[in-house]
Structure 1
């Protein structure tokens, strides 16, 4: 794995950490969850043979601190951050963009707000559940996550959240599963190279911020479907081959059908980027060729 060039970009309310590899037209990678720029380590080098690859830690995550640690978060603000990186790294030319999960939500907003700045967007499982016919059930699910976080803390709330994402209807509890994952953290870090151990540490450290402030605002976001359809020629909607029917998959499938587009399938499930990086990168490369 090559060592990227790193930089810091001051934006209103935060300082963004970003990483750049390769040369050629810009491909901006927007991570979801708590992955940060490191989420793309498994695919960046291969893509850098053809593109200038830029990735970053979204505001409030890992190495992108907020000026006010308690500041609320919005999809529009995160999309503006992505735009500022495009303007910094590709000021004269529109760019290619890939977004995953919550990163795909920010990317969808960017596409509708500034379509002229994007050649193409590949949006992998954006959980914009407000577009679904059963959106009220998913609002109730998110309310359960919030209530569990307030009453019982992070580990039970992560269990409820993870289990709900696995179900199309947003039901499910799953506290035991979440607790088991959390309890496994020390062994997961044991024996890892220092850089990998640091990534795990950052990921786990970002969970309270992600669950408490990213999830509520992002999963309540409703894209402007009229504007999105008008620029859908620049949009590739994607899902995981192993996550068909799960909650994050359904909005991408719904929007693809609504816009009359084929849904692109990546290997693995919602986190196929981590579980199948080589194959995932190959599919992503092809997505920008047609």
Structure 2
């Protein structure tokens, strides 16, 4: 009897195992798909830049005036003295910072619009008041020419940007409002025309490339670090301010002689590289 019960139990277990093997197996869940974020230029940014600025004017103006001699004149010999301001190209370092915002219509590749504002230092001071005097001016007097690029110490722009993104590469054009000022225009007192602030326009273009988010340059944990190379042409209108050269009384720092020897246009170009930190969408 015991053997019969044991055999029946074993048969029942084998039958159950065989039935379970015939049941359909539950399919394994599909792997979770995590989409790779598509890069977009949309977002705010700030950064720094540095480059080189150089004269872009035609420099075809006259730059010589005569200091009178005779009794009560301003020359050592008493004879008239010609003062010539060298009309040569000026150039120097430019550097500063910028802030802006971009909007990309379609992530990945597509049209990008935006705006940017910057403020820049200019090193045009090396040739400031650069004059050749054919003779001698009396002690206590000196000639100066506050016109043109030699009087610019800084400039800034507020510009629109329009470009096309090829994923992480952006090619763009830019243009808008420009302004500038300097210290040389105010290097002597008591003269109503020594206001050096001037405004104008600027235009240019560039190319910008976005580095990976984990770039070693990403000190601020931004969505992206971008590098750009940019060129700008800047034209500042001086109006009628300081259109000539001056003979200055060093004791009072006041002009005693003025000569309208022409105008140096404030036209210059800047080629610079920049680094931006972008915040917003990936």
**Higher relative contact order (Cα pairs below 8 Å, separated by 6+ residues):** 2
Task: Give the number of the structure whose alpha-carbon radius of gyration is greater.
Answer: 2
Higher fraction of strand: 2
Higher fraction of helix: 1
**TM-score, normalised with respect to structure 1:** 0.25
